[in-house]
Amino acid sequence: MPQPARPRCLGVIGGMGPAATAEFFARFVRAVPARAEADHPRVLIDCDPGIPDRTRALTGAGPSPGPRLAAAAQGLMRAGAQVLAMPCNTAHHWFPEIEQAAGVPVLHMIRLAARAARERWGARTRVGVLATKGTLAAGLYETALRDQDMEPVPPTDREVDELLMPAIYGAQGVKTRGPSPEARAQVTAAGRALAGRGAGALLLGCTELSLLVDPGSPCAGLPVLDALEVLVQAAVARVSDAHADEYAPRGHAGGR
C-alpha cells in the first residue's frame, strides 16, 4: 500500500526581526492540520538579524539587503527547502532578486494579502495600510491593493513618524522592548486616524505590528487583515499540497 506523500519542506527567510519570525513559526505550527508530530513538515529557518535594515535602505540611509536576502534564499534551497516564505513586508521590495536566486517557489506575502483583502471585503473597499516608512515609500501595498481594485488609505508622514515607526523601532517599540502598552496605543491611534479619513478596514503590513494587534480582533473599531496570518495560511496550503508542482513557474507562487 503506497505511503501518503510527505509535506514539502518550507524555508523561512527570517530575522527581520527575530520576534516576527518566531511568531510566524508558532502560528505555522498551530495551523498545520497534523494528527501527530510526524505529520508536521520539515521547516528550515534562517533567522539572520544582521540583514541590513530594509527601511534604512529604502530611505537612502543604509545598504541594500538584496544580496543578503538572495544568499539566504539560495542557502535554504541548497539545504532542502522546496518552498520559501519571508515574514517581512518591507523586504518584498527585493522580491525579484530573491525569486531569481531561489530556484524554488517563493510566496509573495504582499500580493497574497491584497488578494485576501479583496476576497474578504470586496472591490473598491477603502483599506487603511499600517506599515513601515520603507514599505510605504516603496508603494508595495498601494500597488498590490490597486491591482485588486481596492483603494489604499496610507497614513500621513506625521502618523508614520510619530506613531507607527515609534511602535516598531522606538524605545517602547516591538523591536526594542517587545509588545508594550505604549506601542499598542500608538498602533490604535494610527488606525483611528485612518478610520477618520474613510478607511473601512485595516491591513497590518508589518510583521512587527502583528505582535501588537490580537489575531481576529478589530483595531480602532475596524476589521483587520494581518498579512502575517495570510502568509502562514498560504505556506501551510503550499507545503501540504502533494500535487503542487515542485518548481512552479516563477511568478505563480505569490498568487499574482
Tens of pLDDT, residue by residue over 205-252, are: 999 999 999 888 999 999 999 999 999 999 999 998 754 543 333 343
pLDDT at 248: 39
Domain membership of residue 179 as a residue range: 109-227
Q: Give the per-residue pLDDT at 203.
A: 98
Q: Are 88 and 155 members of one domain?
A: no
219 CB-contact burial (10 Å; exposed 0-12 / middle 13-18 / buried 19+):
buried
Total domain count, the chain:
2
Same domain, 100 and 126: no
Evaluate if residue 152 carries a pLDDT over 70.
yes
What percent of the chain shows pLDDT beyond 90?
87
pLDDT at 7: 87
In a domain, 66, yes or no: yes
How many other C-beta atoms lie within 10 A of the C-beta of residue 115?
A: 20
The reply to whether 150 and 128 lie within a common domain is yes
Least confident of 11-20, 111-120, 205-214, 235-244: 235-244
- Asked if residue 34 is part of any domain, the answer here is yes
pLDDT tens readout for residues 126-147: 999 999 999 999 999 999 999 9
Q: Are residues 37 and 135 in the same domain?
A: no
Instruction: Indicate which residues carry an active-site annotation.
Output: 88, 206
Q: Does 247 reside within a domain?
A: no
For the cut 90, the answer to whether the pLDDT of residue 158 exceeds it is yes
Residues 115, 101 share a domain: no
Buried b (16+ CB within 10 A) or exposed e, 145-165: beebebebbbbeeebbebbbb
6 pLDDT band (50/70/90 cuts)? confident
